[in-house]
Structure 1
Amino acid sequence: MNDLLQNPTTSTGPVECLGQTFSSDQARREHFLRLLAEKLKDPEFRKQEGFPKGTDEAILAMSDPPYYTACPNPWLADFVKHYGKPYDPNEPYRREPLAIDVSVGKTDPIYKAHSYHTKVPHLAIVPSILHYTEPGDIVLDGFAGSGMTGVAAQWCAFAPAAYRHELEMEWKKEGRPVPKWGARRVILNDLSPAATFIAANYTIPFDVEAFARAGRQLLDELEAEIGWMYETLHTDGKTKGRIEYTVWSEVLTCGSCAGEVVFTTAAMDDESMRVKDLLTCPHCGAQSSKEQMDLRFETFIDPVNNNIEKRPKRIPVLIAYRVGKSKFAKKPDNADMLLLDRVAKLQLPSALPTDRLPDCQMTRVGRMKTTNTAAIHYMFLPRAAQAMGRLWEKAKLHPDVRIRAFLLFMVEQAIWGLSVLNRHHFIGKANVNQWLNGVYYVPSIHEETAYWRILEGKLERLVRTFNALRSSNNNTVITTGTAARLPLPDDSVDYIFTDPPFGENIYYADLNFLVESWHGVKTDAEPEAIVDRVRKKGVPEYQHLMQRCFSEYFRVLKPGRWMTVVFSNSRASVWNAIQVALQQVGFVVAEVTTLDKKQGSYQQVMSPNAVKQDLVISAYKPNGGLEQRFRERGASEASAWDFVQTHLKYLPVAKTKHGELEFIVERDPRRIYDRMVAWFVRHDAPVPLSSDEFLSGLRSRFPERDGMVFLPEQVAEYDKKRAQTVQAPQMELFVSDERSAIDWLTDFLKRRPSTYQEIHPEFTTQLGAGWKKHEAKPELRALLEDNFLKYDGSGEVPSQIHAYLSSNFKELRGLEKSDPRLITKAKDRWYVPDPNKAQDLEKKREKALLKEFEQYQQHSGRKLKEFRLEVLRAGFKDAWSKKDYQTIISVAKKIPDEALQEDEKLLLWYDQALTRTEAGS
């Protein structure tokens, strides 16, 4: 494997940084640290939104400027100016959207080198960077987390030959050009100092051999100091064993006799080693569930404030230890209890944080609340506190700044595993780092793992992993702050890959508080883009925060370039918030790909009952020419067709899966119409075409294949792919409201004009559990009468019915449209009208919808429990065209919030109406 990370600090020669030359890397660091220290003294610099909470000294200690600052990085613009290429509208650039598999690489040693709450593996990001960029291009990730985008960008230059060959062969099979290998420049940003510190250590070069020596020395010194804390007497009464871990059990109170009940003793089944449903009190024999017993507490004096506090009473019930290479287990004896008592009387290490945990969802409910785990030092038993505190102290004393940072990178990975959050499993092999991911959870059975058991193996793995990843160049710059305010020039970034927080999945700022307390620099949670009930951030607030971040993405991305967004939330309201936020700032979505192998289609993903899975959103920033032409033409039909012409260029021409062509949802005429509407709404312009006018114009201007629209120059490529497959791609329609029911009927009747009796059973099967909660279920007959035509037997048989009957019934082939036999078979069949008649029907239908909308406007009292989304959509669109924003806002208040948030179209109109009203006030 080639090298990716190497330390320039060992070099005694001159180093270049942002166009300046320094005598050594240490001189470079000292120069920029002085500049950063001066910046930190400026109150205006510290007033920046998202600025972390910490002292100047703590921020400087974490930082390695200009490559990494644990605060907003003042050198981002210099980085872009020095390494980037100015936007050139004449430079040819064209890419189709690329789907990625975010499950790839989750077992890779680099991915596992440091844990984080969520992360996309670098091997899943590499293909996207290779596809959308060329060597030297600038890539941005504003929600960088642990920095995998930065690792991926470097991997593009230093990937091993075997990986390169495998990827090149895969692309060749897909008919794609060979990727251009070479490093890309990367800008990484995250709100969390804990995250950016991890990212910095992943991407800034360091001396791996020097780290290996320093890590070994640190562990040896600690063993010499506190090794006695991890000694126990073997069952032979004379041999000393080395403790691997100690199992601690909470103590409960029997509801019958008030006696003490040791949870593990009463609950564990000795044969199955599983927790029993009923616990037996050892004093009175009463049986009851754990929930029926109270947790027993003990009081203690908090050494920080001398207040009397309470904590769960825990007792050690099992010690696992080694004698030589042999493993043993025993119950703690008197000597063990005396040792634990001796450790408990020691003064807390000075490095152990004593911060109180913030008021957050996880401290208000659940086990954090019931166990009174209210401060960082409450989260460590005495021996673990001594080990963790001394590890941190020793790591911070290392004289080399870069090695010191990587020692902390290693040591901080023991924080969660040494805390009371670590669970013990009686069944299974490894119990190292068994906390519950993505949440603070204090288990009833805690495994106090020895520090060496976590870090000795970690040290070896880190040395092995980073020895295989070396590069003498630093291509990454890292900043800590909000993605809503990036100090970068307009149109300066070549590609964006981002994995933002989605909804209420993870409380990043609260979870990072544990590690950040050790560093002394904490996240400013105010601008965090999540749904958080404690901080009063609902889906609307989340949407506006994300909109600000996407707006900044849009500003810095070069026109015509791409952004990939990894989405991980199944709530329709969160999905719509993201889509609306993207569209409002100007991005156009070109593809949404589901990556759950069990879910076969995009429509299934959008089902209200969809399971959680990963989606990849491919969106582009339209080129400057489209924007310029729009300003010149305004809200005209020409602007609408100009948008379509431009949009189709960005869409994939053909997609295959398992040798079969896939239906490209974004090429569906109805989806193209929705994108066009969003484009006009974003520009505060009335939509110049009705749905049927647009669909009719689309058919006359652009070729269509298998229900998908193409540019004339794209058709030949699609036809070539289509000739190589047996079956035409099929779009799956998921019926969840009136609009999708009409779409389903349109597709059904295009293929098979049918009578009511034939349609009814097929249609009924579509109205399943996925129907939207507040949407009134329409009658099939009403849908048919409002949107389709029925042949009554008079006159010639319509060509739509004639084509179907003559193709599917042998006895009707070759008959004239006026033949009585054909007329008899065609009578009472519903069919999709031709464009002219469809427009007449639409006008009639729209008039009826607007009349019903007037009833919604006049409604007073409680919110509407049931309504027609089609009525609301028609009414909102009509009000928008009249710039009657107040009507949109007032009617929106009459429907439940979730109904508004779960409909992308309504949300778009409503949010834009709010924006225009606020702008005008």
Structure 2
Amino acid sequence: MSEHEQLSFTTGNETNGEPVVCLGLTFKNDDERRVYFREELRKKLPELKQIDGFPIGQDEDIIALSDPPYYTACPNPWLNEFIQEWELQKQEYYKEFSNDIYKVEPFTSDVSEGKNDAVYNAHSYHTKVPPKAILNYLLHYTNPGDIVYDGFSGTGMTGVASIMANQEVTVEQLKQKSLLNHSKEISYGNRNVILGDLSPIATFISKNYNTPLNSEDFEKEALKIIFELEDEYGWMYQTLDENTQKHHTISYTVWSDVFSCPQCESDIVFHYDATDDKNNKVLDSFSCPNCKINLTKKELNRSWEYIFDEALNQNVKCIKTLPVMICYKENNRNKLKTISQTDNEIIDRINNLPLDSWYPTDRMPEGDESRRNDRIGYTHVQHFYTKRNLFLLSKLHERISVSPYRDQLLLLFTSHLVNLSKLNRYRPEVSFPYNPLSGTLYIGSRVAESNIFEAYKNKVKKLKLAFLAKNKNNVVSLHSQSHTNIKDNTIDYVFTDPPFGANIMYSELSFLWESWIRVKTNNKPEAIINKSQNKKINSYQKLMEQSFKEYYRVLKPGRWITVEFSNSKASIWNSIQDSIQKAGFIIANVAALDKKMGSFKAVTSATAVKQDLVISAYKPLNKDIKNIQQKSNSIESAWMFTSQHLEKLPLIHKNSLQNDYIIERTPRILFDRMVAYHIQNNLPVPISSAEYQKELTQRFPLRDGMIFLDNQVTQYDKYSASFKEVSQTSLFISEESSAIEWIRQQLLKTPQTRQDLHPKFMKEIQHIAKHEKLPELDELLVQNFLRYDSEPEVPSQIVSYFRRNYPDLRGLEPTDEKIKQKAMNRWYVPDPNKQADLEKLREKSLLREFNLYVDEMTKSKKKLKEFRTEAIRAGFKKAWSEKDYQTIVDIGNRLPETVIQEDDKLLMYFDNAQIKLGL
């Protein structure tokens, strides 16, 4: 039987031979369905190969890996047929409720990560969002029958979350529980999910998590194969205790690099000569055992050896390593012993065995990470394994390939491929047996070669718990998110966890897994920052723009996208935010997830990105877009946007024990969103900041520094009445804008003197960027706030605070001397009219500062090293309104590149100005 014929065997008996209906066709069983659709897939391959992101692999391997139409290891040509079928089912399900209007606020409840989950821990794939966390978003944004899409789905956790939500609920039960409205009470029931990803290994894992399986039968089959293999080759992991003369099963063998002394050239075995196992550490310095010279690891030379590589049919030069120690179990306790002569004889016997079963022999690809081990002679996939583990893995793979549970067993097989390789570092201080360094192909100077039989027997029990699917409601496609074939306006909700710039080299790190499944990632459309692929941040941003434009195109108007994002670089966050907005989405909420506290902090600046972000954005309704466009030459376009946007913002933070400040409802943030919408949609910005601030509170109710619609404020008033005051939102302060917002919140809570504010302010500004010319607290107060200074009447903002908090002042008038004395020199947030006047004065000051930078530009070609970012923003806004795009580009080119990339507003003006100039 050939390799391809072996791989073409079908997967688990999901339907027990019962008739199967799939996309309107009826088959005798699942095997007949699979054979039919595989032939259909084979016919479609020539056309599918023209799509960006088509994987690297032989046709037969791609077809064999696929389980069409539910999963294809290439772009799935049946996605739209599934969507059409699901829509018909939903229409039938909801036919009594056709007039129901979808109305959902952004999800604001706290979500803890919940990583101790069988599915989450089943495979060592690079990144995952816990499915229980995603479940919260699915239940909030969708109803049973809705179609969900995740185009960066990785291992399919969005699909697993939908499985968790897919409890059987009838229409009658829904009516009784009042769950068929959109009040967003929890609404369990079936959701249909499309899972897409560029990675073959990711989509293969996803397929397995989202396919029904008899887990008991899987466990029996897996253990049967493992035990049979162990019966035949278990001797490879046997060791003799010379003291008791008893044989024990090896848990792992420690291999050590061998170096040479730079003075006498004698061997230095790293494990013996450079480590202190009693204290579990590598020595900072040590002596050569021969010449006694004092050395550090950096001073050592590599020792090399030649090993015959059967696959390459030649001797290959690689670093010299030796087995030095064995760990085995006795009475359920780990025991360590030094390698003996008997142990070395077994290793020699293994090294003389021929590798007569298939294993991958691919050259590691060009890449920032994948070629890091060339320097030590590990150039091909087979070099990442010891001879013993490579031999046994090839034998296990051979038996898996002819099993009726091949796919699930391949999932089991790949789940440990990294742990069973030389990437598994020996760390004596850590009890966990598998310690590869996450996100890299780093190989340490001491490697733990684990027992594959123990590894897989333990994993079978854990993996069995990860198979949750009962029905085939989810489909998987291997495609690039920048080029999907999904029809316009067909998706009800998008949850996505996009790639994080240069954080992870996905395709390179997946190469070991994908070599074993024979289908590899086509990294041309891979959205990463990578020197080897010549992909810089601009390339990454373009790919992300294409990706979010696809999300926008397929999502239904009025529906939501949730973006979970993790990157410590503000420039990457800005690329994501800019891409979201350029696609047409409107961001309604951005929060940072505190993994330790399980709570959110408001994000007012991109440079604050030190934690996971959850971004909520919506696709506006077509009628709303048209209305704004029709009013684009008048001030009304600003107010139309504001009204529509306020409708989408949360009133409160759900499940909160306090009345939290909704920062997206503040005048400053609303203005920023309005400006961004107009610029990203090539519309003129119709109103200045000062005019907007002034008129905003004339058009809309203001409560606790937040803006509401008339139909929202009553509900907010009822809610806030149960709390003494609005809870201050914890803010990241990184530059002037966030500093002003921090002061605003302080003063909304309590009118204060400069002496009250100063010590707290100084604590909050410890992480201001080096380039930022942050004004002193006094200047920020004068330009943005007002101070009471013996006027005839104490302002109402201060009086209200006194009456709430000081019983002895409650009956006094604003002109009373006692109140005036208490209020003296306190700073407070001005009323809207005075705020507008301050805004005008502040803008003049900022523009004067900006003009100094323009003058400096004519005198020097040097980059601006220190500047006031708010002044640059104000200058860019004015230049944009005057269509002076050249000034924006010229000044932008004088700023440090990181500043442009790390400031969302500057990046927006700069990018769009370049587009206007055709640059």
Q: TM-score, normalised by structure 1?
A: 0.89
Give the aligned partner of residue 480 of structure 1: 478
Partner of 1:257: 264
Over 3 Å counting, the alpha-carbon distance change for 1:429 and 1:788 in structure 2 is closer
Q: How do 1:653-668 residues align onto structure 2 when only pairs under 5 Å count?
A: 653-655=651-653, 659-668=657-666
1:418 maps to a residue whose letter is L
1:290 aligns with one of 285, 297, 320 = 297
Shift of 1:901: 1.3
Distance 1:126 1:857 in 2: 51
Residue 83 of structure 1 deviates from its aligned partner by 1.1
**Counterpart-to-counterpart distance in 1, 2:907 and 2:389:** 51
Kindly indicate whether residue 420 of structure 2 is the aligned counterpart of residue 418 of structure 1: yes
Counterparts of 1:844 and 1:642, CA distance in 2: 27
Letter aligned with residue 514 of structure 2: E
Q: 2:863: which partner in 1?
A: 863
Structure 2 letter corresponding to 1:394? R
Counterpart of 1:888 in structure 2 is 888
CA distance in 2, matches of 1:457, 1:805: 63
1:537-584 per-position Cα deviation (integer Å, ceiling 9, x unaligned): 333332222121111111111111111111112322222222221112
* 3-state SS of 1:559 partner: strand
Name the Cα RMSD after superposition: 3.5
Residue 213 of structure 1 aligns with which residue?
A: 220
DSSP-derived class of the 2:366 partner: coil
Q: Which residue of 1 aligns with 2:4?
A: none
Shift of 1:616: 1.5
Aligned partner of 1:774 among 754, 771, 775: 771
3-state secondary structure, aligned to 1:643: helix
Q: State how far apart, in whole Å, the 1-side matches of 2:411 and 2:132 are.
A: 22
Alpha-carbon distance change, 607 to 625 in structure 1, aligned in 2, over 3 angstroms: closer
**Are the equivalent residues in 2 in contact too, given 1:255–1:293 (CA < 8 A)?**
yes
**Residue 232 (str. 1) matches residue 239 (str. 2):** yes
Instruction: For 2:50, give the aligned amino acid.
Output: K
1:81 aligns with 2:84: yes
Judge which range, 414-423 or 139-148, deviates more. 414-423
Q: Distance in 2 between matches of 1:449 and 1:824?
A: 76
Secondary structure of the residue that 2:888 maps to in structure 1?
helix
The 8 Å contact of residues 218 and 394 in structure 1, kept in 2 or not, is answered as yes
CA distance in structure 2 between the aligned counterparts of 1:871 and 1:881, rounded to whole angstroms: 15
Of residues 545, 563, 566, the one that matches 1:565 is 563
Match of 2:441?
440
Q: 1:372 aligns with which of 377, 385, 392?
A: 377
SS at match of 1:319: strand
Per-residue deviation, 1:760: 7.9
Deviations along 1:380-425, whole A, 9 cap, x unmatched?
1111110111111221122x3xx11111111112311221111223
Cα deviation for residue 270 of structure 1 reads 5.2
Tell me how far 1:510 sits from its aligned partner: 1.0
User: Structure 1 unaligned runs (5+)?
Assistant: 1-5
One-letter amino acid of the counterpart of residue 474, structure 1: K
Alpha-carbon deviation of 1:92? 0.3
Shift of 1:635: 4.2
SS of the equivalent of 2:559 reads strand
Change (3 A) 1:235 1:596: same
Judge conservation of contact 2:197–2:480 (CA < 8 Å) in 1: yes
Specify the code of the residue in structure 2 equivalent to 1:769. Q
Q: Distance in 2 between matches of 1:241 and 1:603?
A: 54
1:421 and 1:442 in contact (8 A); partners too:
yes
Work out the CA distance in 1 between the residues paired with 2:125 and 2:506.
10
Q: 2:113–2:595: 8 Å Cα contact kept in structure 1?
A: no
The residue that corresponds to 2:119 in the other structure is 110
- After superposing the two structures, state which structure 1 stretch, 593-602 or 638-647, moved more: 593-602
Shift, 1:146, TM fit:
0.8
Structure 1 residues 422 and 139: alpha-carbon distance in aligned structure 2, compared to 1, 3 A threshold: same
Residues 137 and 811 (structure 1), Cα distance of their counterparts in 2 relative to 1, 3 Å cut? closer
Q: Measured at CA, do residues 524 and 103 of structure 1 come closer, stay the same or move farther in structure 2, by a change above 3 Å?
A: farther
Q: Is residue 797–residue 826 contact of structure 1 (8 Å, CA) maintained in 2?
A: no
Mapped to 1, the partners of 2:480 and 2:676 lie a distance apart of 27
- Residues 765-799 of structure 1 show CA distances to partners (whole Å, capped at 9, x for unaligned) of 26722222212232555545555567887x85574
Distance in 1 (CA, whole Å) between partners of 2:853 and 2:672 is 24
Residue in 1 that maps onto 2:163? 154
In structure 2, do the counterparts of structure 1 residues 611 and 840 end up closer, same or farther at CA, with 3 Å as the change threshold? Answer: closer
What is the CA–CA distance in structure 1 between the aligned matches of 2:186 and 2:832, rounded to whole Å? 45
Q: Is the 8 Å Cα contact of residues 388 and 418 (structure 1) preserved in structure 2?
A: no
Q: Does 1:49 find its partner at 2:55?
A: no
Out of 197, 206, 214, which is 1:199 matched to? 206
Please state how far the C-alpha of 1:289 moved relative to its aligned partner.
2.5
Per-residue CA deviation, residues 462-492 of structure 1 (Å, 9 max, x unaligned), is 33553xx351x21111111211111111110
For residues 840 and 723 of structure 1, do their structure 2 counterparts lie closer, same or farther at Cα, with a shift above 3 Å needed? closer
CA shift for structure 1 position 457: 1.6
Alpha-carbon offset, residue 25 of structure 1: 1.4
Q: CA deviation at 1:598?
A: 4.8
My pick for the range that moved more, 778-787 or 179-188, is 778-787
Query: 1:336 aligned to 2:340?
Result: no
Listed as ranges, the matches of 1:539-688 within 5 Å are 539-598=537-596, 612-655=610-653, 659-688=657-686
Equivalent position of 1:346 in the other structure: 353
**CA deviation string 1:435-472 (max 9, x = no partner):** 11221110111111121011112223333553xx351x
TM-score, normalization by structure 2: 0.89
Q: Deviations over 1:494-542 (max 9, x none)?
A: 1111111122221111111110111121112222222223333333332
- Whether the 8 Å contact between 1:812 and 1:822 is mirrored in structure 2 is no
The change in CA–CA distance for 1:100 and 1:295 in structure 2 (over 3 A counts) is farther
CA displacement, residues 74-102 of structure 1 (integer Å, 9 cap, x when unaligned)? 11111111112699996401112224666
Aligned residue for 1:3?
Answer: none
CA contact (8 A) 1:892 1:910 kept: yes
1:90 and 1:677, CA in 2 relative to 1: closer, same or farther beyond 3 A?
A: farther
Q: Which residue of 2 aligns with 1:718?
A: 716
Shift of 1:306: 4.5
CA distance in 2, matches of 1:226, 1:676: 69
Give unmatched runs, 5+ long, in structure 2. Answer: 1-10, 92-96
Q: CA deviation at 1:800?
A: 5.9
| Cα offsets for 1:839-869 (capped at 9, x unmatched) | 4554454345445434434504111111222
Q: How does 1:900-911 map to 2 (within 5 A)?
A: 900-911=900-911
Q: What is the DSSP-based 3-state SS (H/G/I as helix, E as strand, rest coil) of the residue aligned with 1:361?
A: coil
Deviation at 1:117, TM superposition (A): 1.0
Q: Count residues with an aligned counterpart.
A: 891
Which of 67, 79, 86 is matched with 2:70 structurally? 67
Change (3 A) 1:840 1:257: same
Q: 1:326 to 1:896 in 2, by over 3 A?
A: closer
Residue 17 (structure 1) aligned to one of 5, 22, 25: 22
Task: Give the drift of 1:751.
Answer: 6.9
**DSSP 3-state at the match of 2:894:** coil
CA shift in 2, pair 1:383/1:896, >3 Å: same
Match of 1:453 in 2: 454
Contact 1:663 1:731 in 2 (8 A): yes
CA distance in 1, matches of 2:61, 2:656: 54
Q: 1:604 to 1:256 in 2, by over 3 A?
A: farther
Q: Is the alpha carbon distance of 1:299 and 1:694 closer, same or farther for their aligned partners in structure 2, counting shifts above 3 Å? A: same
State how far apart, in whole Å, the 1-side matches of 2:767 and 2:329 are.
57
Contact 2:209 2:466 (8 Å CA) reproduced: no
- 1:387 pairs with 2:380: no
